[in-house]
């Protein structure tokens, strides 16, 4: 016991000695002398955890000089596991709305066209415009959420969404339909980017996969159920019932969210331990703080309030409220490693959407199905996508642990991992190769079984395989996007959403033309070959991604340090003025 206590005391002294006592000129000089990132340097850093773990000498005792650094400081997230699950459940419901609003509309196209007396091309234009705004809107809401918090962005988005649905249910002109569909897309589409941002707020990279999978499953259930629901509502209650149903869905999320779901934005509440501003509190938080203040005496109540205000002021100084800047997503897209992932992810998403968009036309031509039967055919594909989102998330977390064990990296679920010393690209992308191999092979076969007019079971089985694999690959890359840009996860997801939705809008716009001129077999063969030809982008990311990630980290650190130095100079310059004003006021008094 005495020897163990002595070793623990030596360990604590060693850790305190190695902890930097200031962040001034010494750290600046050390930082400036840091070598430029190269593949060799990055590989050395990624293997560093093997060398910094506790070693055992020949006498069997630990070498305290080689001990891994002890993780100190606050936990990554102060929310309990049950509260995390509830938060993820609510944002999954929010993420369900955007794809549902897009797909539930399809069965009503013929009814709307007849009611408004417009052409098929004009009705199809409302679908294209929805997808365009589906890509553009998250660029605004993502930046707003990273700047002001998740709750204000969610509440604003769903107020817009519910108002647009009320207008759509009451409109009687094509112009109103077109404009309100754009507004509807603006309100609903921000939910996906916000959801992934919330996941990054409350989960470390070691646990992030399963939560990302749950939110991703919500986005995939929508395309599976929405056409069936839309067909039933349109057939028995009329097309207006579809939009009243969406108003109900929006209200079922908005009111419980506003009343019970706390703010998670790390620039607003830190790890969740700092209360937000009063206007951003839930009813439960307001009641709890009020009860704490009433139960404490005057002195402790004053000290608690002062500490709370001081923490809020520190976080407020780190952020500046401004009008959301959608161009921040462009800066993320221009990062080399992010660009490679976003481009390939958009190709997979386009391949996924081309099957969804072409199913009504092809199944009506081949099997002579009506709208309700076509809607039912979406169920296997949508369910497979939902299952793949959840299972791929679990597999991502397991592979993260496996890679960490291989390189001797200690996972810190409490405080979060420093990914500067971890090959996150390898941990995520190792899963994608078998998924892509099986999925793209099924994609090649899909077009040719439709070309030969085979039994319905065959294309549905191939759709299930494609949903399990292609969507699983899409979820892997979407998780990596958040891992590579943890400081602005909602904005990073918005960049992902922008690229994939614009690419998807173009792909779905020409898929019917491709089928008409190339035939079903060659159309889907070409799409699969494009995805295969672009696969070297993933190899480049795996090879050079850690180097580019380190370069970005160094660059952002320099910017943050310069900003902190400038703020310190402003405080120092204002302090003498305050001191000289004080004697003057005393003389005047």
Report the alpha-carbon distance of residue 486 to residue 484 in Å, rounded: 6
Q: Kindly report, residue by residue over 92-132, the tens digit of the pLDDT.
A: 999 888 888 888 887 787 788 888 888 877 887 888 788 88
Give me 22's structure tokens. 């200031």
86 close to 95: Cβ distance less than 8 angstroms: no
Tell me if 312 is assigned to some domain. Answer: no
Give me 435's structure tokens. 């998924």
Report the alpha-carbon distance of residue 92 to residue 433 in Å, rounded: 27
Q: Mean pLDDT for each 10-residue chunk of the chain (589 residues)?
A: 47 40 40 48 50 41 42 77 92 88 81 85 81 84 82 93 95 93 90 84 85 82 80 86 94 92 87 81 80 60 52 54 70 90 92 84 85 81 86 89 89 78 89 94 94 92 93 89 82 84 81 87 94 94 91 85 77 59 45
Report the alpha-carbon distance of residue 476 to residue 485 in Å, rounded: 15
- Write a three-state SS string for 353-412: HHHHHHHHHHHHHHHCCCHHHHHHHHHHHHHHHHHHHHHHHHHHHHHHHHHHHHHCCCCC
Cβ of 570: how many Cβ atoms within 10 Å? 10
Give me the numbers of helices (H) and strands (E) for the chain, helices first please.
Answer: 23, 2
- Going by C-alpha positions, the residue among 363, 379, 373, 504 that lies closest to residue 446 is 363
| Longest CA span, the chain | 98
Tell me if 294 is assigned to some domain. Answer: no
Cβ of 79: how many Cβ atoms within 10 Å? 21
443 close to 466: Cβ distance less than 8 angstroms: yes
Dihedral sign from CA coordinates of 347, 348, 351, 354: negative
Report pLDDT for 297. Answer: 55
As for how many domains the chain has, the answer is 1
For 63, the enclosing helix (H) or strand (E) is strand 62-63
pTM: 0.72
Q: Kindly report, residue by residue over 457-474, the tens digit of the pLDDT.
A: 999 999 999 999 998 898
Report the alpha-carbon distance of residue 174 to residue 176 in Å, rounded: 5
Q: Kindly report, residue by residue over 504-545, the tens digit of the pLDDT.
A: 878 877 888 888 889 999 999 999 999 999 999 999 999 999
Give me 99's structure tokens. 């794809």
Report pLDDT for 56. Answer: 40
Report pLDDT for 589. Answer: 39
Tell me if 61 is assigned to some domain. Answer: no
Range of the structural domain that residue 205 is part of: 81-268+321-563
Rg (C-alpha) for the chain, rounded Å, is 27
**% of the chain exceeding 90 in pLDDT:** 28
Tell me if 221 is assigned to some domain. Answer: yes
Q: Kindly report, residue by residue over 248-286, the tens digit of the pLDDT.
A: 999 999 999 999 999 998 888 888 888 888 788 888 888
CATH number of the domain enclosing 178: 1.20.1250.20
Report the alpha-carbon distance of residue 551 to residue 37 in Å, rounded: 6
Tell me if 248 is assigned to some domain. Answer: yes
Dihedrals phi, psi of 454, to nearest 5 degrees: -75, 180
Report the alpha-carbon distance of residue 156 to residue 186 in Å, rounded: 11
Cβ of 517: how many Cβ atoms within 10 Å? 10
For 517, the enclosing helix (H) or strand (E) is helix 489-518
Give me the residues paired with residue 62 across strands: 56
Give me 213's structure tokens. 């999978």
- Going by C-alpha positions, the residue among 186, 249, 255 that lies closest to residue 221 is 249
Give me 459's structure tokens. 């294309």
For the CA atoms of 82, 88, 90, 93, what is the dihedral angle to 10 degrees?
-140
Residue 338: DSSP 8-state: H
Tell me if 41 is assigned to some domain. Answer: no
Report pLDDT for 66. Answer: 41
Cβ of 510: how many Cβ atoms within 10 Å? 12
Q: Is 25 helix (H, G, I), strand (E, B) or coil?
A: helix
Give me the residues paired with residue 56 across strands: 62
- Going by C-alpha positions, the residue among 313, 336, 438 that lies closest to residue 388 is 438
Tell me if 301 is assigned to some domain. Answer: no
Report the alpha-carbon distance of residue 389 to residue 219 in Å, rounded: 9
For 167, the enclosing helix (H) or strand (E) is helix 150-170
Tell me if 293 is assigned to some domain. Answer: no
Q: Kindly report, residue by residue over 128-168, the tens digit of the pLDDT.
A: 788 888 888 888 887 788 788 889 999 999 999 999 999 99
Report pLDDT for 319. Answer: 54
């Amino acid at each position: 016991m005495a020897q163990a206590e002595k070793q623990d005391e030596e360990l604590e002294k060693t850790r305190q000695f190695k902890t930097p006592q200031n962040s001034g000129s010494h750290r600046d000089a050390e930082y400036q002398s840091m070598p430029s990132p190269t593949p060799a340097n990055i590989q050395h850093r990624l293997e560093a955890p093997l060398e910094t773990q506790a070693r055992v000498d020949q006498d069997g005792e630990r070498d305290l000089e080689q001990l891994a650094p002890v993780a100190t400081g606050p936990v990554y997230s102060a929310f309990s596991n049950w509260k995390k699950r509830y938060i993820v459940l609510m944002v999954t419901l929010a993420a369900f709305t955007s794809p549902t609003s897009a797909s539930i509309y399809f069965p009503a196209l013929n009814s709307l066209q007849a009611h408004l007396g417009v052409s098929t091309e004009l009705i199809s234009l409302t679908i294209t415009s929805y997808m365009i705004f589906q890509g553009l809107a998250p660029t605004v809401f993502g930046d707003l959420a990273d700047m002001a918090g998740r709750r204000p962005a969610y509440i604003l988005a769903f107020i817009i969404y519910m108002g647009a649905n009320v207008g759509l249910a009451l409109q009687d002109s094509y112009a109103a339909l077109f404009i309100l569909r754009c507004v509807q897309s603006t309100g609903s589409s921000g939910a996906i980017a916000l959801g992934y941002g919330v996941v990054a707020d409350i989960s470390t990279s070691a646990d992030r996969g399963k939560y990302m999978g749950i939110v991703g499953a919500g986005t995939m259930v929508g395309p599976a159920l929405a056409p069936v629901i839309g067909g039933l509502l349109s057939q028995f209650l009329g097309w207006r019932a579809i939009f009243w149903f969406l108003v109900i869905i929006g209200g079922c999320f908005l009111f419980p969210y506003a009343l019970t779901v706390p703010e998670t934005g790390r620039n607003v509440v830190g790890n969740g331990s700092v209360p937000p501003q009063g206007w951003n509190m839930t009813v439960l938080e307001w009641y709890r703080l009020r009860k704490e203040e009433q139960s404490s005496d005057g002195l402790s109540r004053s000290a608690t309030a002062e500490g709370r205000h001081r923490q809020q002021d520190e976080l407020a100084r780190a952020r500046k409220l401004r009008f959301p800047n959608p161009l921040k997503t462009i800066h993320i897209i221009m990062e080399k490693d992010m660009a490679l992932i976003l481009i390939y992810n958009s190709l997979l998403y386009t391949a996924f959407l081309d099957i969804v968009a072409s199913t009504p036309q092809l199944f009506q031509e081949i099997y002579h199905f009506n709208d309700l039967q076509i809607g039912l055919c979406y169920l296997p594909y949508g369910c497979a996508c939902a299952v793949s989102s959840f299972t791929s998330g679990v597999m991502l977390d397991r592979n993260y642990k496996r890679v960490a064990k291989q390189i001797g990296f200690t996972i810190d679920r409490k405080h979060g991992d420093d990914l500067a010393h971890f090959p996150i690209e390898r941990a995520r992308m190792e899963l994608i190769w078998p998924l892509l191999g099986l999925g793209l092979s099924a994609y090649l076969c899909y077009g040719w079984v439709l070309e030969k007019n085979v039994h319905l079971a065959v294309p549905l089985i191939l759709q299930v395989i494609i949903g399990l694999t292609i969507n699983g690959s899409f979820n892997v890359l979407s998780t990596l996007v958040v891992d590579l840009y943890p400081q602005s996860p909602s904005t990073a997801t918005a960049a992902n959403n922008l690229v994939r939705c614009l690419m998807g809008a173009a792909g779905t716009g020409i898929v019917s033309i491709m089928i008409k001129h190339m035939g079903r077999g060659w159309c889907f063969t070409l799409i699969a070959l494009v995805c295969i030809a672009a696969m070297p982008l993933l190899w480049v990311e795996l090879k050079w991604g850690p180097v580019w990630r380190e370069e970005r980290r160094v660059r952002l650190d320099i910017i943050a340090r310069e900003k902190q130095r400038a703020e310190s100079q402003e405080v120092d310059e204002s302090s003498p003025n305050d001191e000289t004003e004080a004697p003057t006021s005393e003389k005047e008094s």
